[in-house]
Copies of this chain bind each other. A is one copy, B any other.
Amino acid sequence: MVYTRTIIISTQGFCDIVDITDQIQKIVKESKIKEGICSIFVLGSTAGITTMEYEDGLIRDLKEFFQKTIPQDRSYYHDKTWKEANGFSHLRASLVGPSITVSINQTELNLGTWQQIVLLNFDNRSRERKISVTLIGD
């Protein structure tokens, strides 16, 4: 059985980190799939998907990490191409990656106790982000 839904998430710019676990869990429940996988993919080249303990300190740590590793306040070749000045957003997105795959067991996402699924909007402006959620199982 295949069950597909698209969710739209409103995000702020500059490394906004949004917990999307509840929205995904709701889709799992609706699907009535007992055992299988849930593939989560963000459309766009300036956003990423990963998991984390969604907590204020870590949210701040993660933003600092990206700022240190791929700073926003310098110039990238991409910025010369499009004059958008979001080269840093693209690099961060390619590094984190657009997708993860989580197991479904007994119609629940099989996550750790302190593990949430997060969307990261790296772009330099607010965006409505589209996430494709595909469940496959019995």
What interface size band does chain A fall in? Answer: 35 or more
> Are the C-beta atoms of A61 and B35 separated by less than 8 Å?
no
Number of copies: 3
Which of A51, A64, A76: most chain B Cβ within 10 A? Answer: A51
Extra contacts, 7 of them, besides A41-B103, A44-B112, A44-B114 (Cβ < 8 A), are A51-B93, A51-B94, A61-B77, A61-B78, A94-B96, A97-B100, A99-B101
| Chain A contact residues: helix, strand, loop or mixed | mixed
Which of B51, B77, B116 touches A60 (beta carbons < 8 Å)?
B77
- For chain A residues 79-124, which have a beta carbon within 8 Å of chain B? 79-82, 87, 90-91, 93-105, 110-112, 114-116, 118
Q: Give the contact stretch, choosing among A7-15, A24-32, A129-137.
A: A129-137
Given contacts A110-B41, A112-B44, A134-B36, contact A62 B103 (CB under 8 A): no
5 contacting pairs across A/B (C-beta < 8 A): A52-B90, A57-B81, A61-B90, A62-B94, A136-B137
Given contacts A50-B97, A103-B4, contact A57 B45 (CB under 8 A): no
Which of B41, B58, B115, B137 touches A98 (beta carbons < 8 Å)?
B115
**In the complex, A19 has a CB within 8 A of chain B:** no
Residues of B within 8 A of A133 (CB): 103
